Amino acid sequence: MNKESSWACPEERQSELQQKEDKIEIIEAGEIETEDLMLTEVKEIESELDEKDIMRLFKNPDYIFILFITLLIFIPNQMIFVYLAPIIKSVGGDSTDLGYMFFFNALSEAPIFFAAKYFLEKYKTNSLLLFSAFFYLIRFIVAAAATSPVYFLFFGMLQSLSFGVFLVTVRYYVKLVAPAALKTTAQSIAMMSAFGAAGIIGSLLGGYLIDNYGMTVMFNVTIIFGSAAVLILVFVVFKDRGVLKSRT
C-alpha cells in the first residue's frame, strides 16, 4: 500500500506541475491578447483624431459652397429682422403690427418641419435651396415695397417657404458632404455662420446703410444679396441637370 503511494506521488506532482504551467500559459496568453486589444484601441483613437482635423472641412468645396450660400441669404435676412421694428414704424405700424408679423411668422414655420422628410426624399438639395432662396428674395422685395403694415403680414407668412425649407435643407446638405467624424462640428459651424457671423455682419451693415444712406439703399442691398444667391443656385441646378443628361 505504501509502496503504491510512493510510486503515485511523482506522477501526481508532475500532473500538478503541468496544470500550473498550463495556467501560466493561459494567463500569459490573456495578457498578450489584452495588450493587443489596447494597442488596437489606441490606434483606432489616433486614427479618429486624425479624421477630426477641422481643416478638412474648409478644403471641401461642397461645404464651402453651403457656407457661402448661407451667408448670402442670412446677412440680408438679419439686416431686415434686426431693424424690423423701425421698418414697420416707418410705414405707419406699431408694436401690435410687429406682434402680428411674428405670430404669422411662427404659425407658418411649424408645418414645414413635419413635411421636411417628404421634401428631402422627393427633391434634390440644390433644388430645395433654390426654392427657399427664391422665397427669401420675395420677402426682401415685399419688405422693400411695403407701404403699410399689412405687407409684413405676408412677409411673416412666407417664413415656412424661406427659412423653414432653407434650414432643414442646409442641415441635410451638411450631413451629406461632411466627413463622418466631423458631422457635428460641420453642423455647428454652419449654424454659427447663419446665426452668428451673418447676424453680426447683417446688423452692422444694416445700421451703417440706414444711418448713412437710408432704408431704401439698405433694402436694395438685401435684394442684391438675395438675387446673387438665387442666380448662383439657378446655375448650380441647371449645371447638375446638364451633367445628368450627358450621362444618360
Read off the pLDDT of residues 174-222 as tens digits, 9 standing for 90 and up: 989 888 888 888 899 999 999 899 999 999 999 999 999 999 999 999 9
pTM: 0.75
Dihedral, 39, 44, 46, 48 alpha carbons, nearest 10 = -170
Average pLDDT, the chain: 81
Is the confidence at residue 49, as pLDDT, over 50? Answer: no
In CATH terms, is domain 54-247 a member of 1.20.1250.20? yes
C-alpha cell recorded at residue 15: 500532473
Closest CA to 206 of 10, 16, 51, 74: 74
Residue 24 — pLDDT band, cuts 50, 70, 90? Answer: low
For the record, the C-alpha cell of 134 comes out as: 427664391
Q: Domain boundaries in the chain?
A: 1-51, 54-247
Rg over alpha carbons for the chain, rounded to the nearest Å, is 32
- CA 1 vs. chain centroid, Å, equals 87
In the predicted model, is pLDDT for residue 48 greater than 50? no
Q: Please report, as a single letter, which amino acid is at residue 163.
A: F
Residue found by looking up cell 439686416 in the block: 79
pLDDT tops 80 at residue 106: yes
* pLDDT exceeds cutoff 90 at 162: yes
Q: What is the pLDDT of residue 97?
A: 93
The pLDDT score that the predictor gives to residue 142 is: 96
Distance between CA atoms of residues 88 and 13, nearest Å:
100
